[in-house]
Amino acid sequence: MKKLSVCLVMVVFLVVSCGEQGQARASARDLVGNYATDFNTGKELLSLNADGTFVQVFTSTKSRITTRGKWHLDNEFLGATEVLLEGNLASEDDDKNSQPIYGQRSLIVHREQGKLKLALNETSDWFYDRAN
């Protein structure tokens, strides 16, 4: 019975982690690289570095904002990998005179046609697409 349970868990894990579409598991090494997305107000480039730091560059017609911080992974049992950005700029649309607000952003890893992408908002279909 114990062997059957272990085999069942392994099969479920393989189905979840090896799926070609949707949420996916990935290692830090797999995720290092550049990602880009477009917003209504501008474009953003996110670089995840191998040393656990990131650079976030938001460019609009009004300004260019560069933010640096740290990133790490959170893997829930049998779930998708989550990339946590610590210290990202959360107020790029605010008034120029207001104090910038830094926070934490959670990005869920997805795989589509063999390429990794990071979900900003799955419901709204907002993703950082792999840029390299």
- CATH, residue 62: 2.40.128
Using the structure block, give the residue that is written with the tokens 């099969």: 11
CA atoms of 73 and 57, how far apart (whole Å): 21
Domain holding 97, by residue range, is: 2-130
What tokens were used for 20? 């070609």
In the chain, the number of structural domains is: 1
Q: Is the pLDDT of residue 8 over 80?
A: no
pLDDT digits (tens, 9 = 90+) for 47-105: 999 999 999 999 998 889 899 999 999 987 778 999 999 998 766 556 667 777 888 99
